[in-house]
Amino acid sequence: MKINLLLGALALICCGNVVADERPNIVFFFADDQTSSSLGCYGNAAAETPNIDALAARGTRFDNAFVSQSICWVSRTTILTGLTGRSYGTAANPELARPDAVETLYSDILRERGYRTGYFGKWHAKMPRGFKQKDHFDEFEAISRNPYYKRMPDGSLRHETDLIVDRGIEFIENQPADKPFALNMWFNACHAEDKDRRPGIGAFPWPQGVDGKFEDSVLAPPRLNDPAIFDALPEFLRTTINRERFFWRWNTDARYQTNIRAYYRMTTGIDAAVGRFLEALQAAGLADNTIIVYTADNGYHMGNRGLAGKWSHFEESLRVPMIVADPRVDSSQRGKVSDAIALNLDLPATFVDWAGAEIPKRYQGRSLRPIVADQKPADWRTESFHEHFAVRHRIPAFEGLRNAEYKYVRYFDHGNYEFLHDLKNDPDELTNLASDPKHAETLAAMRARTDARVKELGGPLDPLKGEFTSSTVPYPEAAAMVGARADAEGFVRLFDGKTLRHWSGDPKYWSVQDGAITGVTDGSLKMNRFLTWEDSTVRNFDLRVKVKVTAGGNSGIQYRGTSRPDLGLDIVTGYQCDVVANVPKYNGMLYEERGRRILSHTGEQVVIDPEGQPWIVGKMPVKEFAADQWHDYRVLVRGNHHQHWIDGHKTADLIDLDENGRALEGVLAVQVHVGPAMKIQYKDFKIKHLPDDMPLQTAEDVKIPADATGVRPQGRLPKDWKAPVYGER
């Protein structure tokens, strides 16, 4: 597409106080999976987003900003092309962009207007064969997650959010004085690491600069978390990926609090990076002619309605933050909130308009420029079209319309199941009026308008190929089994015998040797280091694994543990079945890393009282197991009853009545220990997840004999130390 560059130079086209041919710089911050409710300027009192809030205070905050399709790659491709997903793809393959649709991106139009363009961050757009991103930007670097922390040349780790802004700052520091620029910084945050389901630092890794934020906060639970709201959904929404991932992230109070704190840290991390860039922009003398845009690619359920992710027609999914701060507009237009329906579809038209170029006729959005500079035009849209068709065999596909009063959608692969919501009287969309005769006229009218809009945008999609596949049952017995595959005996394999896929740890210590997970230390270790399983937390389970450790070696099977990124990204605390060669009283005992420490030595049957004191209530024989040989370890945990075995011989039997000290769920890990050089190996690793709701034994159920003695604590004790006696307390 050729743009007549003389048009902008020959005419002064004014919009409010903005002159078109002055070609402002454009900076576009694009977050991932961020609901507007996670920002302070949108009313979240718990959020810490001062820099983004300041943009809203001196710009325009759109109160009704939405995406046309709530999934990463479609939303991103829509912005690049100016077309809805249905329009840039084909009826047979709507997720893949057609070559003609992506021949000219908005960045190409800006380049023809003399702009220097930069792109740093997440790409994730499904382009046709032969498409090259670098052809469309002057500077381009795709920076992805998996993992979020990138190893730098000096060996340090840097979060992708900070790395993207580092590149943005370098870009403006090298900006020629005689050219405008358009800079895209597209974050991966706040997207979860889908393959890593460890709560907190695993699922939502945050930039190191916000370590500890919100740690002492109890954040509000999901506002729409009444189980009745979930139960009212049709079956195809109750069994989809949204529900599957709910069990990865939000299904218990403890998991919710850990993950929501981590999510807020990611948001605060983005905000800090934005602030750092704005300082650099000011220092470069470019701030007065640079427009800042901040938005996200889709919303996020965050546990609302018993769902996770996005991928639905509900407001949490479609609604996004959108802030535009243009320093050139009149002071009377700054700090305002617009009720105009704004779409991600509008952004490319806006960028092109700011550059003084002609908006392509094929673009399906409108420029937001007049709203930012003055006020909403009289003919601005009053209704928006929304759809979802990505991953259609697992995510229910829909299409429909939303206006200030009603939202209508139909799930066309599910018998055209229809929803009609009265947004004025039922803003939380809790009641479906599609079958209410009183709303039949509204339903019919919106259905007809949806038909017409679908036709305008490219027509109906081809029928679904194959069968729709459910992702989970609505209420699984064991949440850890959601998405897992078990063998005929109900065991899930944790290790493939070849790689450390599904495990997270420092490769300096961990590798695969001879078909076994192998941990090696050289005797210089200053802190115990861990390899953690990523696929789920563990609650009630039966774990089996073969273990071999060198003489003098010390390791352990960590379970129901807690990740401690404050100590190190791979550090875990919590219960542990010890693996200690040559020391029979420790091998197979129950220890608590960085907690209550020794809970039972090997051969002790123990009850921990409600105050946290462990008492020996019985004894078992202690056996020695040779080093440098394979042994079968078993850990069985049901409720608050813990049992360990080595080669079929029970080594620990403990009931934990300490409600404040115990853990009922957590991560699974293995350990290399400080001390002498050692080698530990694990193979044939498997686990059977037992039902989550196994009963807990109480003090009324468990009687501690009066002559029970206390477990000997760890560490050097006085020579006259005597074990306490339960009846003499």
CA 564, distance to chain mean position in Å, is 18
Taking residues 426-443, report their average pLDDT: 98
Per-residue confidence at 14, pLDDT binned at 50, 70, 90? Answer: very low
Given this model, what pLDDT does residue 9 score?
A: 38
Instruction: Give Cβ neighbours of residue 608 (< 8 Å, ≥ 6 apart).
Output: 596, 599, 614, 615, 654, 655, 656, 657, 658, 661, 662
Per-residue confidence at 16, pLDDT binned at 50, 70, 90? Answer: very low
CA distance 141 to 120: 5
Strand intervals (E) in 171-265: 181-186
Q: Is the pLDDT of residue 370 over 80?
A: yes
Residue with tokens 């922390």: 149
Q: Is the pLDDT of residue 520 over 90?
A: yes
Taking residues 654-681, report their average pLDDT: 97
Given this model, what pLDDT does residue 22 score?
A: 78
Q: Is the pLDDT of residue 19 over 90?
A: no
Structure tokens at 685: 């690793």
Per-residue confidence at 197, pLDDT binned at 50, 70, 90? Answer: very high
Q: Is the pLDDT of residue 77 over 70?
A: yes
Q: Is the pLDDT of residue 8 over 50?
A: no
Q: Is the pLDDT of residue 79 over 90?
A: yes
CA 372, distance to chain mean position in Å, is 32
Please check whether residue 652 is in contact with residue 623, taking contact to mean a CB–CB distance below 8 angstroms.
no
Residue with tokens 């300096």: 508
Angstrom CA distances, 521 to 330, 381, 527, 528, 570, stand at: 65, 65, 11, 10, 15
> Can the peptide bond before residue 705 be classed as cis, meaning omega within 30 degrees of 0?
no
Given this model, what pLDDT does residue 10 score?
A: 35
Q: Is the pLDDT of residue 13 over 70?
A: no
Beta-carbon count within 10 A of 133 CB: 16
**Mean confidence (pLDDT) of the chain:** 95
Q: What percent of the chain has pLDDT over 70?
A: 97
Structure tokens at 302: 């965050």
CA distance 645 to 583: 16
Report pTM. Answer: 0.94
Q: Is the pLDDT of residue 15 over 70?
A: no
Q: Is the pLDDT of residue 523 over 50?
A: yes
Please check whether residue 345 is in contact with residue 418, taking contact to mean a CB–CB distance below 8 angstroms.
no
Per-residue confidence at 52, pLDDT binned at 50, 70, 90? Answer: very high
Structure tokens at 36: 């507007």
Given this model, what pLDDT does residue 582 score?
A: 86
Phi, psi for 363 (deg, rounded to 5) = -60, 140
Given this model, what pLDDT does residue 5 score?
A: 37
Q: Is the pLDDT of residue 3 over 90?
A: no
Q: Is the pLDDT of residue 31 over 50?
A: yes
Could you read off the pLDDT of 601-654 as tens digits, one per residue? 999 999 999 999 999 999 999 999 999 999 999 999 999 999 999 999 999 999
Taking residues 507-520, report their average pLDDT: 98
Indicate the DSSP class of residue 419: E
Of 508 and 10, the one with more pLDDT: 508
Q: Which of 14-18, 227-231, 549-553, 631-635 comes out lowest in average pLDDT?
A: 14-18
Residue with tokens 């690619």: 297
Q: What percent of the chain has pLDDT over 90?
A: 96
Angstrom CA distances, 140 to 23, 135, 167, stand at: 22, 9, 10
Q: Is the pLDDT of residue 12 over 80?
A: no
Structure tokens at 585: 């009283």
Taking residues 494-523, report their average pLDDT: 97
Could you read off the pLDDT of 138-173 as tens digits, one per residue? 999 999 999 999 999 999 999 999 999 999 999 999
Per-residue confidence at 20, pLDDT binned at 50, 70, 90? Answer: very low
CA distance 524 to 212: 29
Q: Is the pLDDT of residue 54 over 70?
A: yes
Q: Is the pLDDT of residue 18 over 90?
A: no
